[in-house]
Structure 1
């Protein structure tokens, strides 16, 4: 698992920049709240608002990201007010929380912006429970949200706007259909049902920390689109929480809430969350748990009993999510898997075409953003087939087939990265054979993504070439030809099965 996190490809060092910028943005937001005279709860609220503004906003353009960021307070502040006003009315508070859960998941039908606003609304209600917010605190907490979102925006769009060159992470694309045929609608119903179970069960375990169970259910549903993905994500959330609790008891607890070392630990945890999010949900949850323990240390309430309660509530939340996806409008894996594999293959072709244009001297041709997009898409493929490749999956045939697909897609990505690296060389030139090789790549991708994998023949044996460009293109041709066998299925069947 360590190797997967730290050896994972990071084209353009996007993950490193993502994490480093988050530390700067959240640190500045907390500092601004402190300079404004806000209390510790205000600083915590502001820090969370900045974290969400930097973490969840994933529109494909910088302008779109700016619009979504500007809309965050418009969604979050009314939710914060409702949570504070309903603090002493448990039944109305619980019903409002479930309504926010359902609306937040349903909003994914509007793409990355809907997803971001839904997450921000949920987490605003959640932090109100975390801090036991009451109406008297609303002016301070609202000001903290506004200041922190503005600070995060200044960092993201002014101080450190690397998105001008590299795209944001690929967010789940809503699947078509109407009514309950739409995946986002089915997931909204599932998430509300799972959160309802978690809320009731969580309150039976703890009348003070029940919201942890609801939070676990919510985050298990984030960035998943099928029954299998959700079950695997629930397992990984519990595992990451267990590991984070163990690490926190050894690191956060001995600090006893000391300001400076705890602030340093918070910064490390934030970096870990952002750096590992794209490659390992288990590792991300480890850092989230360590961050939570650090904050509880600052608040002076961190005890072994509290972290044990967090684990129990997390397990209840995972159980709620599992029951919901198994018995409430279940969504199978195959359609989601097909979609992400096809998008990845189209991106392979786009990378190749852009690199060829760069070599031909086309002005403005830059394949680097496409490579970053390909890495994000491959991450989504890995997530969608995770139920098939999981060690506990008893279906060996499907497991082997899914692993073969992943390995060959990784081969495609490796050849594309090599091709793009060569294309970046200013002395590299266009070759007539390059156009023919690019055409063969395009034909192979078209056959694989239109259900005609049987028409992709074996890659022709070609003599070794000295030109690196052609060597990478021939390697890409071989990988695409080899993909035809595991993707070759009867008409109407899923590419990797589920």
Structure 2
């Protein structure tokens, strides 16, 4: 697990830059709040707002990121006002919190911007509970949020805007549908129900820290699309929390809020959250847990009993999420995996066609952009298949087939990257055999995503070719042909394929 989090490949040092910029942006936001004369509560609010602004905004272009960042206070400040004004009205506060939860998940249907604004709205309400914000503190908290978002934006879009030098990163849209057939609609209902369970049971466990349970339910739902993904994420959240609490007993409790070492460790936690988010949810949750413990130490309320309570509330939240995805409008892992694999395979064909067009001299062809989209889609496939390859999954046949599918899709991506690299070479020439090979790729993809299984095949064995583009296309054909078996063949009596026939 440690190797996966900190030794995982980091092409272009993207995760390192992402994490380092976060430390800079959050640190400057806290300093700005301090210079503005804000209290510790205001500085904590500002730091968390800056962290969210840097973490949640994932639009594909810098221009869209700027717009989304500018909209964050417009969504967050009214929610903050509602949370503070309803502090002494528990029933109205709880119903409003549930409404914000459901709306935040439902907003994912509008893509990255909806997701970002939904997360910011929920977390603003959560932070108000975390800090026990009251209406009298609103002017200071408003100023802290606005100043911190502006500071984070200045770092992200001015001081260190490395995205301007990169091609836009494609962000796959959620699976389509209407009404209750839409995944985001189902998840909004599930999240609201799960949060309702967590809220009620969480308040029975603790009348003061109940919001931890609701927060656990919320974050388990973020970036998941199926029942299996949500259950695996819940397990990883609990595991990360347990490890984080153990670390907190060794580090945060003895520090007891000492300013300088706490500030250094907080910076390390922010770095860890951003650096590990893309590769290990468990390690990200470890860093989040330790960050919360250090903040409670600064606020003077940290003790072992509080850490035990956090673990209990996290368990309640995970149970609420699990019950919701199992009992209410379930979205099966098979359905979600099927959708993402089909989209990835179609993107393989589009990448191939774009690369072939580029080799043929078409100036408008841009296979590099399609490769970025393919990488994003394969990331979604890995997330969707994660429940099938999890060590605790007892279905060994499906686990083996799922691992084989992932390996072959990675082979497809490797051949596509090689083909695109060849196409980018201005000296590369178009070979007449490319058209036939691309047609076979198209036919193989069509068979895998909707055609009869017997049509899935590879061109008869040919002698090795010296032309690099053809070599990559032949490798791609072989990988697509080998995908037919694990994708379309049930594993034993009552088994089901990974992708619909």
Provide the TM-score with structure 1 as the length reference: 0.91
1:362 Cα deviation after fit:
5.1
Cα pair 2:50 2:149 within 8 Å, conserved? yes
Could you give the per-residue CA deviations for residues 66-118 of structure 1, whole angstroms, max 9, x where no partner exists?
A: 22222111111000001001111112111111111111112222222221111
Structure 2 equivalent of residue 320 of structure 1: 320
Could you give the per-residue CA deviations for residues 221-272 of structure 1, whole angstroms, max 9, x where no partner exists?
A: 1111221111111111101111222233333334332333322222222222
Cα pair 2:174 2:183 within 8 Å, conserved? no
Structure 2 equivalent of residue 281 of structure 1: 281
Cα pair 1:108 1:174 within 8 Å, conserved? no
Structure 2 equivalent of residue 299 of structure 1: 299
1:177 Cα deviation after fit:
1.7
Structure 1 equivalent of residue 62 of structure 2: 62
Structure 2 equivalent of residue 227 of structure 1: 227
1:452 Cα deviation after fit:
4.1
Structure 1 equivalent of residue 194 of structure 2: 194
Structure 2 equivalent of residue 24 of structure 1: 24
Q: Distance in 2 between matches of 1:9 and 1:462?
A: 35
1:182 Cα deviation after fit:
2.6
Q: Distance in 1 between matches of 2:430 and 2:20?
A: 38
Could you give the per-residue CA deviations for residues 432-483 of structure 1, whole angstroms, max 9, x where no partner exists?
A: 4444433433332233233444312135433334444433332222111111
My pick for the range that moved more, 73-82 or 461-470, is: 461-470
* 1:346-365 alignment, distance < 5 Å: 346-357=346-357, 359=359, 363=363
My pick for the range that moved more, 211-220 or 325-334, is: 325-334
Structure 2 equivalent of residue 484 of structure 1: 484
CA 1:238 to 1:62, structure 2 compared with 1: closer, same or farther past 3 Å?
same
SS of residue in 2 equivalent to 1:461? coil
Cα pair 1:244 1:285 within 8 Å, conserved? yes
CA 1:347 to 1:305, structure 2 compared with 1: closer, same or farther past 3 Å?
same
Could you give the per-residue CA deviations for residues 38-76 of structure 1, whole angstroms, max 9, x where no partner exists?
A: 122112111211221121122233322222222111111
CA 1:36 to 1:293, structure 2 compared with 1: closer, same or farther past 3 Å?
same
Structure 1 equivalent of residue 176 of structure 2: 175
| C-alpha RMSD of the superposition | 2.6
My pick for the range that moved more, 364-373 or 397-406, is: 364-373
* 1:96-245 alignment, distance < 5 Å: 96-164=96-164, 165-168=166-169, 170=171, 173-178=174-179, 180-245=180-245
Q: Do structure 1's residue 290 and structure 2's residue 286 form an aligned pair?
A: no
CA 1:202 to 1:243, structure 2 compared with 1: closer, same or farther past 3 Å?
same
Cα pair 1:335 1:494 within 8 Å, conserved? no
1:169 Cα deviation after fit:
6.7
Q: Distance in 2 between matches of 1:262 and 1:96?
A: 34
Cα pair 1:111 1:174 within 8 Å, conserved? no
* Structure 2: gaps (5+ residues): 491-495
My pick for the range that moved more, 285-294 or 160-169, is: 160-169
1:427 Cα deviation after fit:
5.3
1:35 Cα deviation after fit:
1.9
CA 1:32 to 1:166, structure 2 compared with 1: closer, same or farther past 3 Å?
farther
Q: Distance in 2 between matches of 1:360 and 1:27?
A: 51
Cα pair 1:213 1:314 within 8 Å, conserved? yes
Q: Distance in 1 between matches of 2:380 and 2:6?
A: 18
CA 1:82 to 1:7, structure 2 compared with 1: closer, same or farther past 3 Å?
same
1:7 Cα deviation after fit:
4.9
Q: Distance in 1 between matches of 2:347 and 2:106?
A: 28
Q: Distance in 1 between matches of 2:144 and 2:353?
A: 47
Cα pair 2:488 2:497 within 8 Å, conserved? no
1:216 Cα deviation after fit:
0.2
CA 1:223 to 1:172, structure 2 compared with 1: closer, same or farther past 3 Å?
farther
Q: Distance in 2 between matches of 1:143 and 1:494?
A: 55
Q: Distance in 2 between matches of 1:364 and 1:34?
A: 51
Q: Distance in 2 between matches of 1:364 and 1:37?
A: 54
1:359 Cα deviation after fit:
4.9
1:214 Cα deviation after fit:
0.3
Structure 2 equivalent of residue 259 of structure 1: 259
Structure 1 equivalent of residue 493 of structure 2: none
Structure 2 equivalent of residue 310 of structure 1: 310
My pick for the range that moved more, 134-143 or 378-387, is: 378-387
Could you give the per-residue CA deviations for residues 165-212 of structure 1, whole angstroms, max 9, x where no partner exists?
A: 24447365153122x333222221211111111111111111211110
* Structure 1: gaps (5+ residues): none
My pick for the range that moved more, 120-129 or 432-441, is: 432-441
Provide the TM-score with structure 2 as the length reference: 0.91
Could you give the per-residue CA deviations for residues 12-48 of structure 1, whole angstroms, max 9, x where no partner exists?
A: 4333332222222222222222222212211211121
Q: Distance in 2 between matches of 1:364 and 1:251?
A: 56
Cα pair 1:240 1:282 within 8 Å, conserved? yes
Q: Distance in 1 between matches of 2:476 and 2:297?
A: 52
CA 1:256 to 1:362, structure 2 compared with 1: closer, same or farther past 3 Å?
farther
Q: Distance in 1 between matches of 2:82 and 2:470?
A: 61
1:329 Cα deviation after fit:
2.0
Structure 2 equivalent of residue 400 of structure 1: 400
Cα pair 2:402 2:498 within 8 Å, conserved? no
CA 1:333 to 1:38, structure 2 compared with 1: closer, same or farther past 3 Å?
same
> How many residues in Structure 1 have an aligned counterpart in Structure 2?
495
Q: Distance in 2 between matches of 1:77 and 1:451?
A: 52
* 1:365-444 alignment, distance < 5 Å: 367-423=367-423, 428-444=428-444
Structure 1 segments (4+ residues) deviating >6 Å? none
CA 1:259 to 1:466, structure 2 compared with 1: closer, same or farther past 3 Å?
farther
